[in-house]
Amino acid sequence: MPRSAIWTSWLAAVALAVCAVTHFPLQRDGVSLDVHALAVGMSVLCTVLALILVVRPAVVVLGAGVAAATVLAVAHAYGGSFTEATLPRAVDLALAPDWLATSAAIAAALLALAALVVRVAAPPPGTRWSPWPPAEPHHATD
């Protein structure tokens, strides 16, 4: 794997870990168990994705990281429009202030997307980018 794919995957892993920490709910604040469980679940999902990215930066894991962080960012952005929905109430339980949790989710989504693009665009190990297949030597026939 090229060096750029490794660095972008590590940056995405760190951003997902920061996103997980900022979204972890320390208090229940009188919300239902379902809302609290969703808040903990989203934080744990980001943590697990970050840990998997450290071990094996696969395309599927990067795609899941993009999706998870994007869901959190959208829940912050449009949470006021859907006050009765479960996810916006869950992200309101975040440990960090709203502006920091939103920024962490957006950064994690963008870094995971960048790592995904680099990973997909990187050639597999042992191959070279070539527009044409290598020329075969011509042999005279008898």
Determine the residue type at 113. L
Number of domains in the chain: 1
Q: Cβ atoms within 10 A of the Cβ of 60, count?
A: 10
8-state DSSP, 132: S
Q: Is residue 67 part of a domain?
A: yes
- Identify whether 128 is part of a domain: no
Residue 136 falls within a domain, yes or no? no
Tokens of 132: 């044409």
106, part of any domain: yes
Whether 141 has a pLDDT exceeding 70, the answer reads no
Q: Name, in order, each residue with C-beta under 8 angstroms of 29's C-beta and a sequence gap of 6 or more.
A: 93
Closest CA to 93 of 45, 40, 47: 40
Span 120-131, mean pLDDT? 66
Instruction: Flag whether 9 is in a domain.
Output: yes
Q: What is the pLDDT of residue 128?
A: 58
Q: Is residue 129 part of a domain?
A: no
List strand residue ranges (DSSP E) for 4-127, in order: none
Range of the domain at 67: 3-121
29 is written with which tokens? Answer: 């604040």
Say what the pLDDT of residue 1 is. Answer: 63
Domain assignment present for residue 52? The answer is yes
Q: Give the torsion sign (CA, 16, 18, 23, 27).
A: positive
Tens of pLDDT along 104-123?
Answer: 999 999 999 999 999 888 76
Average pLDDT, stretch 54-77? 93
Q: What is the mean pLDDT of residues 63-74?
A: 95
Residue 127 above 60 pLDDT?
no
Does the residue 141 lie in any domain?
no
At 124, is the pLDDT very low, low, confident or very high (cuts 50, 70, 90)?
low
pTM of the predicted structure, to 2 decimals: 0.81
Taking the CB of residue 48, how many other CB atoms lie within 10 A of it? 15
pLDDT at residue 76, as a whole number: 86
Band the pLDDT of 92: cuts 50, 70, 90.
confident
